[in-house]
Amino acid sequence: MKSLRTLKELEISEILELLEDARKFKNGMVYKLTDKVIANLFFEPSTRTQNSFNMAELKLDMKVINFNAAMSSLQKGETFYDTIKTFEAIGVDALVIRHSQDKYYEEISNIKVPIINAGDGVLSHPSQTLLDLFTIYEEFGKFEGLKVMIVGDIKHSRVAHENIDTMTRLGMKCCVSGALEFKEDCFNWKDFDEGLQEVDVVMMLRIQHERHNEKMQISISEYLEKYGLTHSRVKKMKPQAIIMHPAPFNRGVEIADNVAECEKSRIFKQIENGVFIRQAIIKRSLSWFILWKMQKFMRIKK
Ligand code: CP
């Protein structure tokens, strides 16, 4: 079954195939999964990922169920596992799931429909990593040798973890920076002001307060001055370097208001590209699954 749990499970060639399919979708490729039913189950808030998957599903002519956790039987004590089993039982063809638990998908490994991970805990966010890669490739036409610096709440970021792993596999040089309390020793740490003069991509991250056990003591203005991407820092970047952010971003905290939409920013381009990437992901999961179902049907008939 072609689930997409983490990009760690994919060969580089499979990652490149997904990027190539996204490029074709962006150039107008038509692919229909008419009458296939997909359910988006977000157990954590989302604007971009949920609605971008929804848009991709509509473009693929699919029927879509958007699960509302706050109005579901979770509120009556039903478990995550039984919720997912319920969606399998009612006959959906694929599930897009976001959950705060690391590797939530291991708990539902007996489910027979493809699972597309829309973010698990602090570990993986494969569709975000793919859309980031797609945006970088559009800009530079290569991965090998490009330098990226990820700045901010590295420790609590599923985007940072999956991006660093995948980008390194693709030959990119990754470093991290920001407040020391978010530092992880396994990554190459750089001084922010030095690093941003050397890199091709500066990727800013939001402070993920919802995953913190303690309230940060630093004020918003102090955070912006010390660790945020201000206009004066942008001026130090290389001429061709770009700014990225998975969003949601907090203007005036990790990124200055006038930087979020400046000429170097690719933040809304990333969001635009997310739809094509998600079309490619769903195509990969369902074209294989439909073939498998047909073969099973033919065996039963014989
Ligand atoms: N980038 C991202 O995952 O955004 P959402 O939380 O809005 O889906």
Same domain, 230 and 214: yes
pLDDT tens for 33-88 read 999 999 999 999 999 999 999 999 999 999 999 999 999 999 999 999 999 999 99
Q: How far is the CA of 74 from the centre of ligand 1 (A)?
A: 22
Q: Whose CA is nearest to atom 1 of ligand 1?
A: 246
What residue owns the CA closest to ligand 1's atom 6? 46
Q: What's the CA-to-centroid distance between 179 and ligand 1, angstroms?
A: 22
Q: Which residues line ligand 1 (CB under 6 A)?
A: 46-49, 119, 128, 246-248
Q: Are residues 178 and 156 in the same domain?
A: yes
Q: Whose CA is nearest to atom 5 of ligand 1?
A: 46
How far does the centroid of ligand 1 lie from the alpha carbon of residue 87, in Å?
23
130 and 118 assigned to the same domain: no
Handedness of CA 123, 126, 127, 130 (dihedral sign): positive
Beta carbons within 10 angstroms of residue 83's beta carbon: 18
Give the structural domain span for 112.
7-124+273-301
Cα(261)–Cα(267) distance, rounded to whole angstroms?
Answer: 8
If asked whether residues 168 and 224 sit together in one domain, one would say yes
Residues 245 and 133 in one domain: yes
pLDDT in tens, 227-271: 999 999 999 999 999 999 999 999 999 999 999 999 999 999 999
Backbone torsions φ then ψ of 43, nearest 5 degrees: -90, 5
How many angstroms separate the alpha carbon of residue 229 from the centre of ligand 1?
A: 20
240, 284: one domain: no
Q: Rounded to the nearest whole angstrom, what is the distance from the C-alpha of residue 119 to the centroid of ligand 1?
A: 9
Instruction: Quote the number of domains for the chain.
Output: 2
Q: How does pLDDT run across 148-206, given as a tens digit for each residue?
A: 999 999 999 999 999 999 999 999 999 999 998 888 888 999 999 999 999 999 999 99
Does the structure show a pLDDT above 70 at 145?
Answer: yes
Same domain, 204 and 105: no
Q: Is residue 133 part of a domain?
A: yes
Instruction: Report yes or no on 46 lying in a domain.
Output: yes
Which pTM does this prediction carry? 0.94
Q: Tell me which DSSP letter residue 189 carries.
A: B
Ligand 1 centre to CA of 97 (Å) is: 13
**Angle separating helix axes 126-140 and 267-301, nearest 10 degrees:** 120
Laid out side by side, the sheet with 201-204 consists of: 173-177, 147-151, 201-204, 242-244
Nearest to 55 by CA among 286, 284, 285, 282: 282
CATH of the domain at 14: 3.40.50.1370
Structure-derived torsion over alpha carbons of residues 279, 282, 283, 286, reported in degrees to the nearest 10: -160
**Residue from 43, 48, 209, 267 to probe ligand 1 pocket by mutation (most atoms less than 8 Å from CB):** 48
Ligand 1, closest atom to CA 125? 3
